[in-house]
Amino acid sequence: KAGVTQTPRYLIKTRGQQVTLSCSPISGHRSVSWYQQTPGQGLQFLFEYFSETQRNKGNFPGRFSGRQFSNSRSEMNVSTLELGDSALYLCASRTVGGAEAFFGQGTRLTVV
Amino acid sequence: DQQVKQNSPSLSVQEGRISILNCDYTNSMFDYFLWYKKYPAEGPTFLISISSIKDKNEDGRFTVFLNKSAKHLSLHIVPSQPGDSAVYFCAAAQGAQKLVFGQGTRLTINP
């Protein structure tokens, strides 16, 4: 069974640009969550989607948005990029009602 | 509001000895707790979990202890091996709600 797949693995963007990250969950997993990890910080929760609906949202500005498609694949978008958005963005999928989340390898975003 | 805290940013242990990583939480509604291991530039890997109805769960060299009255859990690794060097995150959830993670503890195993 394939794991969680995130693309791309690495990205370099310029301040003010926007970026879209993609996540394909484990087959059969309908819940997808996104996290941001910055140096010295834990995993900060961004949002969670289930059956194409946002179920939970963390404390991030509206520049961060996401969506989920009918095949459970999810995308995350960050608009008007700032230097502080440089981070490792992680996607995790879970089964319905499951607490254990399985993570992808992440997308390393660098904003210059 | 940091609901899950790992107060030790780093821990250094000699190979073969026991590593003990600690985690505290404030939300008494949490009923499921997990430990993840993370290498640089990779996603966290699930290690072991425990439900609030238990106080201990063991899987090979890894044991997680839960003290609900103290709102404290710990991960014991025995014996510690060089490959255990990584950042360890504890996480907690209430039912199927979002996972809340601690800040992580960097474990270094010295030969």
Q: What is the pLDDT of residues B2-30, one digit of tens each?
A: 799 999 999 999 999 999 999 999 999 99
Per-residue confidence of chain A (112 residues) as pLDDT tens digits?
Answer: 679 999 999 999 999 999 999 999 999 999 999 999 987 778 999 999 999 999 889 999 999 999 999 999 999 999 999 999 999 999 999 987 777 899 999 999 999 9
pLDDT at B80 exceeding the cut of 70? yes
Question: CA-CA distances (angstroms) from residue A38 to A48, A93, B65, B88?
Answer: 19, 20, 29, 15
**Residues near A93 by beta carbon (within 8 Å), at least 6 away in sequence:** A4, A23, A25, A26, A29, A31, A32, A33, A72, A101, A102
pLDDT of residue A1: 62
* Distance between A45 CA and the closest CA of chain B, angstroms: 7
Identity of the residue in B42, B44, B98 whose CB atom sits nearest the CB atom of A56: B98
DSSP bridge partners of B36: B46, B89
* Distance between A34 CA and the closest CA of chain B, angstroms: 10
Chain A contact probe: residue of B24, B47, B48, B99 with most A CBs at under 10 A: B99
